[in-house]
Amino acid sequence: MAPLRGRVVVVTGASGGVGRAVVRELGAQGAKVALIARGTTGLGAAAVDVGVEGGTGQVYEADVAEYEQVRAAAERIEKEMGPISVWINTAFSSVFAKFTDITPEEYERTTAVTYLGYVWGTKVALDLMRPRNAGAIVQTGSALSQRGIPLQSAYCGAKHAIKGFTESVRTELLADRSNVRVTLVQLPAVNTPQFDWVLSKLRRHPQPVPPIYQPEVAARAIVYAAAHPERKEYWVGTSTVATLLAQRVAPALVDRYLARTGTQSQVTDDKQPTGVANLWEPADESTDYGAHGSFDDRSHARSPQVWLSQHRGPVLLGLAGGAAAAAVAAVRRLRRA
């Protein structure tokens, strides 16, 4: 089944990483994909990927930190491709560094891209969807939206803000009895070019905190959420589940654990920083980085937890049925005894 076939879906940050994997997955479903990002080469290659997978892709260059650029791109999309059914926010940038080593300008730019980029995308999408009383917005979140870690204060702060902002918007839509849906997909550590092109002030090459998942795992979950946006939130990966639950149960203990291990777990022992930075300018203006980062040999291509989460109704029903059958069998054994 391809519930998004023929529908217009916007993806920000479409040229690389999770966004790049998302547009491929949408192409495989036969969607009409509008790709928003800054990097010309990456965007062009992503549009080709959509076509190869069986969909239709069109490129719209825009900096998501600039509201007017996002609005202009959306107006072009509706004129050239048709009414937008789904808007997926994935674009971000950041700085790998201790908070005290980040300049005010770098912090402001990270917040503008990673947080306000979602705000502007959501505002533009709602302005178009609410009059039609139909549509879905998918926010790409992170386990770090509820649990901050060392060296990523700018990113964690933006992801926390996205969660709070999204919850506020969702309650307003519910109060209005709107049929427009907003959902949040909380991701684990993912093997994307993020660790090759985000501004780093570390002495060693940054890495995702293990366990690491391939971007296709995230993409399948995000596209599923786009087709099933009724749920408030989706969690992807056992590490995300463990992190979010630990934060709820023992946040002070998690603080101390991350103080001891959080820095070392985010740097490699055998690689130097690339020197590339996409905070101010796109890294894929002339180079296509694709969806994957440099940790393929350590990344998981599947997550059983995602399937269980998406099918929790049938799973719980099956478990209940199994328990009932076991109880009946036990009663029969007791009667025979």
Instruction: Kindly report the length of the chain.
Output: 337
Q: How far is CA 219 from the centre of its chain?
A: 8
Q: Which residues of 91-121 are buried (b: 16+ CB within 10 A; e: fewer)?
A: bbbbbbbeeeebeeebbebbbbbbbbbbbbb
- pLDDT (tens place) for every residue of the chain, 337 residues total: 679 999 999 999 999 999 999 999 999 999 999 999 999 999 999 999 999 999 999 999 999 999 999 999 999 999 999 999 999 999 999 999 999 999 999 999 999 999 999 999 999 999 999 999 999 999 999 999 999 999 999 999 999 999 999 999 999 999 999 999 999 999 999 999 999 999 999 999 999 999 999 999 999 999 999 999 999 999 999 999 999 999 999 999 999 999 999 999 999 987 777 889 999 999 999 999 999 999 999 999 887 877 777 766 655 455 444 444 444 444 455 456 5
Give me the torsion for CA of 153, 114, 160, 178, rounded to 10°: 180
In 47-83, which ranges are E strands?
56-61
- pLDDT, one tens digit per residue, over 80-107 is 999 999 999 999 999 999 999 999 999 9
Q: Which residue has the tokens 């905070």?
A: 279
Please name the residue that has the structure tokens 């993020």: 194
Write the pLDDT tens digit of every residue in 109-127: 999 999 999 999 999 999 9
Residue at 24: amino acid letter: R
Phi, psi dihedral angles at 91 (to 5 degrees) = -65, 140
> Could you tell me if 283 and 276 are in contact, meaning their C-beta atoms sit under 8 angstroms apart?
yes
Say what the pTM is.
0.90
Cα–Cα distance measured from residue 240 to residue 165, given in angstroms and rounded to the nearest whole number = 20
